[in-house]
Amino acid sequence: MPRQGAVHPVKAACLACRASKTRCDGTQPCNPCSDRTRDCIYRPSRRGGPRRSIKNEKKVQRMSVSRSSIPSPQTSGADSETQIPITNLVSETRDADSNSEIDPSLRHIVGLLTPFSSEPSLDVDPGLLWSPQEASDRNEITGPFLRVYDSEKDIINAYYHYIHPYISLLPSAESPWYEDRPQVFQPPPAEAGTIDKSSLPYWPTTSFTLALSALLALIPPPQDSNPSAMCHVWLRRSYAHVYAEAALSKAESEIDDLQATNIADRGSIAENRYINCGVPIELRPILALIVLSLYEYCQRGNPSRMRTRANQAITTAMDISLHCLDSTASEVHRRAWWSAIYILHFNSIVQTSRPIVTLKDPRITTPYPVFESSTDETDQPWVSLLRTTDAFLEVLRIVEEFNLRDIALLEPSHRQEQIRSVDSKLSLLGAKSASYAGLARRNDPDKVAFQSMGMIAHLLAHSARIRLHRYRAFTDIPLFVEKHCDLTAVNERAAHTGPSSTFEALFPFTEQESSIICLKSSLAIARVFRYLPSPRQRQHANSPGGYDSLSIMEGSPLVADNAAFLRNCPSTLPYFKCAAMQASYCLFMLLHRIRAALVSNRVSICHYLLAQPDPATEVQDVNRLMEELRHAIEYLKRSMEMDKVFEGFAAMGRGLNAVYLAVFPS
């Protein structure tokens, strides 16, 4: 008989006692955890023993996380001792259109299917994610890891690597551009399941660098050997959300300070030039809101909240008269204003809505930004980009009118002229921006941005042309199971119907003409995504040739020597990836049309897709075209897969891959 009060061995100790090597008594909560006021989490051991039945497995106790408030974002990481429970990281506010009819327990499942059905869930039981004991059993640290930085200077330098090429918020860096220097952070085992801000090596001091940290935290560090693991994704998602919430709060505080201070008393340059490379203090919250707008779209898949942040950035900019500057305006003021306008217009494209401020607003006098790479004011990516988004909005207005039920009331002659006019405008914009896809720029962030933003303008021009002609060419036949961008989903309730005779009479292009336009634009978009400058080539920028060869395909000699960097680094900041889905849709539909013609032995009906059809070689010509379509689809698919770390677009990649495997099962 054991003596009364003796401590008997228990079958399973809690995680906290395992980590601290403390004797656990097996109760819930155990006495050591009660004495130390810490959470008591149990998880079944994997070290042998009898097999547990499903019934007994369900009896394992999970952690009950107490709710507490998030600490003030103005408190530095070194001073804050507050741990943030993961259940508090879920935003309390939901947009009116965000899945209120979905059972809360299913939201995270639905979020895996489509990027805009719900936001990524932060409410996850960490006991299911990470067991410190498993890592120690193998005598190695396997993660999860988080990318962090230990200074404002390094955060800004990382911005020039991962964000600046795709939307240049800042002028060229004053200090030399150097290799990215991320620090690797791993939560202590005893703190699994909490987001402990105080344990971070550095906490950013401005709204802008906090917002940048939210995007940068989503990129796995090279040391992460399994970035797609559930725990690793949850860690990046959770800390990115903390950064974003802190950035929004800090931006609102900075805006209040601006409104309470006379313009003459505002410092023209921040006290630390490394913070924003000469950016005036009053621009910090505007730039932060622009970055948060991209965060809401790329990571959280929430276009409505993206629009809220963009509208707030525009309102704040106009409150400080950023829209009515003259030719003496500094480059940083110009970029802050036109970046806000661009993101506002881009969101209007995403949501098919009208922006609160248009390019033709007579109040706007601020000159366009200028890249020093070109002395020609008309040869500027900013001009091409803004004019292209304006033409895209015109396309959406036309498409919206065609979706009206009273389509018969539209004036045929006026509508045909309008469609031809906007199509001609997009064709000219696409031809003009095609020059940006030439030789890549050398090792300079602004020169890389000059090319990248010009290429984005090029793909948006072709994406707008596809949007104008897609219905006429393919009658909007559903292809993807879930809804992505504005493409009709297979599971939508509304039955698919072909175009009406009224529509065919009003549209000035035939089905074949629109199909050819969609083919050419889709191939152009695939080429852009193949050669778009990527951070994946950054480590080779100092080598001879720099960025002069830019294939992002796997096996490229530029990127084959750094497997860890390739595994974890995204190819772009993917806010414009809907263009890839539009192009993929057209390529798949054309491929299906050609295959049907081959099976039915009616290849002649596809002659319009060939440059110079010859009955003697028509089969070879068609097969060659099919190979070209397949290669273009593979470029687009690979580009989508590379950016899966941004969860707002991960489902697009899965949907595209599912269709690819169905079309090419071998």
With tokens 């290429």, the residue in question is 455
Residue 14, strand partner residues: 42
Task: Give the number of other Cβ atoms within 10 Å of residue 530's Cβ.
Answer: 19
* Candidate from 126-140, 349-363, 450-464 with smallest mean pLDDT: 126-140
218 contacts 646 by C-beta, under 8 angstroms: yes
The two structure tokens encoding residue 109: 């499942």
**DSSP per-residue codes, 493-526:** SSPP----HHHHHH-SS-HHHHHHHHHHHHHHHH
User: H-type helices in 138-206, by residue range?
Assistant: 152-162
* Candidate from 98-102, 215-219, 468-472, 566-570 with smallest mean pLDDT: 98-102
Question: Would the pLDDT of 55 be above 70?
Answer: no
Task: Give the number of other Cβ atoms within 10 Å of residue 624's Cβ.
Answer: 12
> What pLDDT is attached to residue 13?
76
User: Cα–Cα distance between 159 and 146 in angstroms, integer?
Assistant: 17
Task: Give the number of other Cβ atoms within 10 Å of residue 523's Cβ.
Answer: 19
Most confidently predicted of 87-101, 437-451, 535-549? 437-451
Instruction: Encode burial over 291-330: b for 16+ CB neighbours within 10 A, e otherwise.
Output: bbbbbbbbbbbbbbbbbbbbbbbbebbbebebbebeeebe
Question: Would the pLDDT of 83 be above 80?
Answer: no
Dihedrals phi, psi of 498, to nearest 5 degrees: -75, 175
User: Cα–Cα distance between 471 and 498 in angstroms, integer?
Assistant: 9
Dihedrals phi, psi of 404, to nearest 5 degrees: -70, 145
475 contacts 518 by C-beta, under 8 angstroms: no
The three-class DSSP label of residue 114 is: coil
The three-class DSSP label of residue 487 is: strand
Mean pLDDT of the region 229-240: 90
The two structure tokens encoding residue 608: 């319009």
Question: Would the pLDDT of 142 be above 90?
Answer: no
Mean pLDDT of the region 478-488: 87
- Higher-pLDDT residue of 368 and 143 is 368
> What pLDDT is attached to residue 77?
37
